[in-house]
């Protein structure tokens, strides 16, 4: 071995810890953004009357919150590869639910009380996940793989809980007579929270217990298990580290959202749509990537699991917080939105009534999502 060979061998490559630090570069941006808005937020928000400033601040905060949420998803996926399904998907779902609850609470506590925010967020999550992301996954998956298979029992288990909870949460309040308007009395809220939480945790017993096989890809082939780089505690720690900027910045993001709604006269549902996008974007990216890999069952677990967690977990938590903080809640949907909800639930039941999906089903879901976007401003 000559001297040049020795010199070559002596040069060390990037160490494992250094490579991990480089991969987490966005966390530094999130922390820096938190510091800027905590220290100088009042000065920045004083200029929201300038449309350019308003746009820049909103895009800045929204991008950092989305980026942090994507960091949560990345480490949840690493945990999923270590723990296996459905536990990995459950970690992701619970993390996103925490982000959702914090976002709703932050927006409701800023500016004027927005009693429809919980309802608007729930409805928007249903339309985005069950319409837009499921539709895009089915469409792209069909274009690449023609037909894809899902576990029929798993999809039916999700829909069997989502449909009654959606109707109880967003339709029933329109028809109760104890209170004025599409609201629920305290006893009815307790009933709804108990049913939602009870059904969700019963579902978890099925998903993580004796019926775990319902939520696995039916035609999966044996393959060498992919190992995530990094220890499991490291991924849990980084997942929590990415959630912290979301907690801090979503409160700041509530201020430009309130300004757009209260000062510029945008539809009140815009607030719910923004929160829903924060929730759905990380799940949507992961689910669409799974569909392209021909793992549509993973997409179903992510999308329908996100909808179920929004209603089954977010609703009871927000009912308790609203009672503690003295916030009003209007839950019942009105007019065109009520029709869209019922149509989306019916179409989803039909789509997942067999174990195979194709391009047509994706197109139907996407077109319903398009109708939701149009009626958001022209309803």
Task: Give residue-wise pLDDT tens across range 31-89.
Answer: 999 999 888 888 888 888 888 888 899 999 989 988 888 888 788 777 767 776 566 66
Please state which of the ranges 26-40, 107-121, 163-177 shows the lowest mean pLDDT: 107-121
Helices 296-309 + 186-208 axis angle, to 10: 160
* Residue pair 99/278 in contact by the 8 Å Cβ criterion: yes
Q: Is 166 exposed, middle or buried (0-12, 13-18, 19+ CB in 10 A)?
A: buried
Question: What is the percentage of the chain residues whose pLDDT exceeds 90?
Answer: 24
Query: What is the gyration radius of the CA atoms in the chain, in angstroms?
Result: 22
CA atoms of 148 and 110, how far apart (whole Å): 45
Question: How far is residue 68 CA from its own chain's centroid?
Answer: 13
CA atoms of 67 and 72, how far apart (whole Å): 9
pLDDT band, residue 12 (cuts 50/70/90): very low
CA atoms of 287 and 296, how far apart (whole Å): 8
Please state which of the ranges 83-87, 235-239, 255-259, 294-298 shows the lowest mean pLDDT: 83-87
pLDDT tens digit string along 280-322? 887 788 788 888 888 888 888 888 988 998 888 888 988 988 8
Report CA torsion sign: 77, 82, 88, 91: negative
CA atoms of 143 and 179, how far apart (whole Å): 50
CA atoms of 231 and 236, how far apart (whole Å): 9
Q: Which structural domains are found in the chain, ordered by start?
A: 21-219+231-378 (1.20.1420.30)
Query: What's the pTM value of the predicted model, to 2 decimals?
Result: 0.82
pLDDT band, residue 17 (cuts 50/70/90): low
**91 compared with 139, residue with greater pLDDT:** 139
Cβ-count burial 83-107 (b if 16+ within 10 Å, e if not):
eebbebbbbbbebbbbbbbbbbbbb
């Amino acid at each position: 071995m000559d001297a040049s060979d020795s010199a070559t061998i002596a040069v060390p490559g990037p160490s494992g810890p250094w490579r991990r630090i480089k991969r987490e570069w966005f966390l530094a941006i999130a922390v820096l953004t938190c510091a800027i808005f905590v220290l100088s937020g009042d000065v920045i928000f004083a200029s929201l009357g300038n449309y350019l400033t308003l746009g820049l601040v909103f895009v800045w905060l929204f991008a950092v919150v989305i980026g942090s949420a994507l960091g949560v998803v990345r480490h949840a996926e690493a945990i999923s590869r270590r723990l296996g399904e459905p536990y990995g998907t459950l970690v992701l779902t619970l993390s996103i639910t925490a982000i959702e609850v914090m976002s709703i609470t932050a927006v409701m506590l800023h500016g004027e009380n927005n009693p429809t925010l919980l309802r608007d967020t729930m409805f928007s999550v249903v339309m985005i996940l069950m319409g837009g992301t499921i539709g895009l996954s089915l469409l792209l998956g069909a274009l690449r793989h023609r037909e894809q298979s899902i576990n029929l029992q798993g999809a039916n288990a999700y829909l069997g809980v989502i449909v009654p909870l959606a109707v109880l949460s967003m339709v029933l309040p329109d028809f109760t007579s104890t209170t004025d308007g599409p609201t629920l009395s305290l006893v009815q809220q307790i009933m709804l929270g108990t049913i939602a939480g009870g059904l969700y945790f019963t579902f978890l017993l099925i998903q993580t217990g004796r019926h775990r096989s319902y939520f696995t890809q039916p035609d999966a082939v044996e393959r060498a298990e992919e190992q995530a780089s990094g220890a499991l505690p490291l991924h849990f720690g980084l997942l929590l580290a990415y959630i912290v900027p979301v907690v801090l910045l979503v409160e700041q993001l509530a201020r430009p959202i309130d300004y757009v709604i209260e000062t510029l006269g945008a539809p009140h549902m815009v607030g719910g749509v923004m929160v829903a996008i924060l929730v759905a974007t990380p799940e949507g990216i992961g689910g669409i990537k799974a569909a392209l890999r021909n793992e549509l069952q993973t997409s179903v677990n992510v999308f329908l699991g996100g909808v179920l967690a929004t209603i089954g977990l977010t609703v009871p938590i927000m009912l308790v917080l609203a009672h503690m903080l003295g916030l009003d809640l209007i839950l019942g949907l009105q007019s065109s939105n009520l029709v869209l909800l019922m149509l989306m639930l019916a179409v989803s039941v039909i789509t997942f009534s067999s174990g195979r999906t194709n391009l047509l089903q994706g197109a139907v879901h996407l077109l319903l999502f398009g109708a939701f976007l149009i009626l958001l401003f022209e309803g």
